[in-house]
Amino acid sequence: GDDDSDYHDREPIGGTYAKLSNFETAGKAVCSKLREFTAKIIKCCNDIVLELVANKAKETDTISGDNEYKDLKRLETECEEWIKTANMLIQEAGERAISHLKTPTS
């Protein structure tokens, strides 16, 4: 018909909104995997730090792993920042796509 004002609100089956939903689902899965890998990496690094500190203690009769623990904490913080950044990028990309879909084209 002559009235195309609601054209942008319609979507064929399997269309853009479905693809956007798949994008968001995939994005959440990526962030979940990032969290999972981060936890594994931090655990491994923590085990390494504990071993280093134990070896230092045997060699020097003092227990000081302050630098190693600071590095480990920095790694944890950086990993968490990457996860937050990934979440924000995925959310922003989804919002932009939705905004683009709702904006009528001339």
Parts of the chain with a pLDDT under 50: 1-8
Triad 44, 50, 51: Cα angle to 5°: 90
For residue 28, what pLDDT is reported?
83
Give first-to-last CA distance, the chain, whole Å: 17
For residue 46, what pLDDT is reported?
92
For residue 27, what pLDDT is reported?
82
Question: What is the spatial distance between Cα 58 and Cα 27, in angstroms, rounded to a whole number?
Answer: 46
For the chain, the residue count is 106
For residue 63, what pLDDT is reported?
64
Give the global pTM.
Answer: 0.61
